[in-house]
Each structure stands twice: as structure tokens, then as C-alpha cells.
Amino acid sequence: MQTNPNPLSLTIASRESRLAMWQAEYVRDCLQNLYPECAITILGMTTRGDQILDQSLSKVGGKGLFVKELETALEDGRADLAVHSLKDVPMNMPEGFELACVMEREEARDALVSNDYKSLDDLPKGAIVGTSSLRREAVLRASYPHLQVQSLRGNLDTRLGKLDQGQYHAIILAAAGLKRLGLAARIKALLPLDPFTPAAGQGALGIEIHSRNTAMRVILAPLNDPATWLAVSAERMVSRQLGGSCQVPLAAHAVWNGAQLELRSFVASPDGLQICEAAASSPVVDLVMAEVLGLKVADDLILQGAAALIPAPLP
């Protein structure tokens, strides 16, 4: 049996937003408990996704904008690992990079945040709701056509600031980020999984490494949560098969019911007028079974015509 090495030093690459740094610090503290003699530092970086705030992600290159600079740091040796919100990690990793582990998932649902309204049903006609997600936008347009949906970019604090300045009547955020930053009191309502099925990987932290750094797989192994790993693997397989990106209103979320993994997904047009939905469950004990479940749901969506709802990738 291979024993864990005792690394002398580790560097964690992270975006510099408050939430990203919280996540990096959380991983640092977990590693410090495992390897108390190790010197662990955090390399804060600003990504293109953080810099481009005047356009929606679907128009400027998608989720990969949040990870490319961190991957460069892994490749050139400035960092040993990078911590990501897993929903921001592209479904197809660049050659030479891999997810080494996925940590136990926090709350996966979307959250309604508002200073004046307790639920989406309370919002009056014409109220402005902010979101950065085409997935959330499609659901809002389908379920609440009387509301105005407007783009909302920036880190978590920036988004909350725009709400507090009165630019929006309500905004929708991932509940996990609010809870991690001690802002759960700002959540007016957790939105139901139907119809607000989360994005693949939402609520989970993924740790990326360069594939040549084989020792890191062993170092990080104790942080991996097998149940979350299998659930998000099924979700990410759906998204991978359907070309999931910020250009696609696509949801995929799996929950455990005993040994059964229950997976649901949808693909929608941005206006919410067209939607393909699928769900399946099966016993899952390993990665292969998880990905087979994901393939089953993806195939169901494709048979329903989901491919016609997916735009061509950006050049």
C-alpha cells in the first residue's frame, strides 16, 4: 500500500476574489492538518474571466477564462495545485492537466437574494432579476415570463453590491458561495431543484494538477470525497457529451438515494421556450458506472433533439 508522502512545501494557485481565496485557504488548512510540517502558500492570480466584466461569459469564451492563468502556473511550476469551483472547470481538460480530487459538496442549489422580496413569486411584473447564467436565465424566462432578466457579472461581492445599489430587485447566485463566506443570512430562498436544476459540479470544489506531478495525486487523495466525485462525474459526462459551456443553458445534477445515483438534466433555448429534460438512476459504485449513467441521460436528451438547442462553439 502506498503511503502518503510528506511534502516540504506546496503552492496553491487561486483567483483573487474573496470567495476563491476562501476556497484556497480552506484547502490550505485541510492540507496543513494532513501535513503539519509542510509550508503552504497561496499564489493569487487575476484571470481574464475576472477582468472582462462588460460582456456575458457566453460571448467572451466561457468558463475556461477562469482557469487558464492558473493552469499556466501549474505548467511552469509556480504552483503545485489549483483550486476551482468545479462548475467553472471546462468539461474537457486541456492535455496535460487533470482533476486530482473533488471535495465534499456544499449546498448545490441556487439561491434567491433580495432586499425586498422573499421569493420569486413575490416579485412584481417588470421586476429586474440579475444572473450570470444562461441556465438560470432560461428557467426564469420559462417560469416567470413577467420578470426582466438582466446580465450580472463580477465576483460575489460585486454582484451583491449591485443589488444593494438598487440595480436589481433580486439576483440569483449559487448558495454554496454565500454559505462559504458566511453570507447565508442573505439567502431569501433556496430555489427548488425542479425547475432550477443546478449546473454540473455546482457546490463542489475541484483541485487541478499538472499530470506530470504524480506525487500530488497521492498528497491530495485524503481530500477526495468518493460520493461527490461519482455524482459530479455523472453530471460532467452529460455536459461533456452535449458540449456544455457558458454558451449552453444546460443543467445536470445527481443525488444519492442509498446506493442509487439519481441524475436529472435539461438543455434549453436561452429564451426558455424550448426545453429537453431527462432523468435516470442506477446503482453506482465506481467511475465507469457513474459515467455510463451520465451517457444514458445525455443520449436521452440527444434523442429528444437537444443538439439543435446547442450553439456552435466560439471560434
Domain with residue 293: its CATH number is 3.30.160.40
Length of the chain: 315
pLDDT band at 310 (very low <50, low <70, confident <90, very high): confident
Alpha-carbon distance 223 to 14, whole Å? 17
Same domain, yes or no: 85 and 212: yes
DSSP H or E stretch at residue 48: helix 48-51
pLDDT band of residue 246 (cuts 50, 70, 90) is low
Give me the chain's average pLDDT, please: 90
Q: In whole angstroms, how far apart are CA 278 and each of 136, 167, 296, 297, 298?
A: 17, 36, 9, 6, 8
**Do 83 and 138 share a domain, yes or no?**
no
Residues 213 and 83 in one domain: yes
Residue 60: what pLDDT? 42
Q: For residues 6 and 24, state if they share a domain.
A: yes
Residue 132 CA to residue 224 CA, distance in Å, equals 29
156-164 helix and 18-34 helix, angle to the nearest 10 degrees: 140
Half-sphere exposure of 153 (CA within 13 A, CB side): 17
- Any bridge partners for residue 263, and if so which? 254, 280
- The reply to whether 194 belongs to the active site is no
Q: pTM for this one?
A: 0.89
Mean pLDDT over 119-145 rounds to 95
Q: Is residue 99 part of a domain?
A: yes
Domain membership of residue 198 (yes or no) is: no
pLDDT in tens, 185-240: 999 999 999 999 999 999 999 999 999 999 999 999 999 999 999 999 999 999 99
- Number of structural domains (the chain) is 3
Q: Which domain holds residue 5?
A: 1-104+204-224
Percent of the chain with pLDDT strictly greater than 90? 79
Same domain? For 90 and 219 the reply is yes
Same domain (yes/no): 232, 315: yes
Q: Is residue 250 part of a domain?
A: yes
Three cell numbers, residue 43: 499564489
pLDDT tier, 110 (very low <50, low <70, confident <90, very high otherwise): very high
Same domain, 83 and 120: no
Percent with pLDDT over 70 in the chain = 90
Task: Return the C-alpha cell found at 281.
Answer: 438512476
Tell whether 199 is covered by a domain.
no
Three-state secondary-structure class, residue 35 = coil
The predicted pLDDT at position 55 comes to 43
* Residues 35 and 89 placed together within one structural domain of the fold: yes
Is the domain of 159 the same as that of 237?
no
Looking at the structure, do residues 166 and 209 belong to the same domain, yes or no?
Answer: no
Q: Catalytic: which of 88, 157, 225, 286?
A: 88
Alpha-carbon gap, residue 187 to 243, rounded angstroms? 31
Identify whether the C-beta of residue 238 lies closer than 8 Å to the C-beta of residue 200: yes
pLDDT tens, position by position, 26-72: 999 999 999 999 999 999 987 654 444 444 444 444 455 668 889 99
Q: Could you read off the pLDDT of 263-307 as tens digits, one per residue?
A: 999 999 888 889 999 999 999 999 999 999 999 999 999 999 998
Residue 313: predicted pLDDT: 55
CA 201 – CA 233 distance, rounded (Å): 8
Mark whether 50 and 145 lie in a shared domain: no
**pLDDT at 122 (0 to 100):** 97
* Same-domain pairing of 91 and 126: no
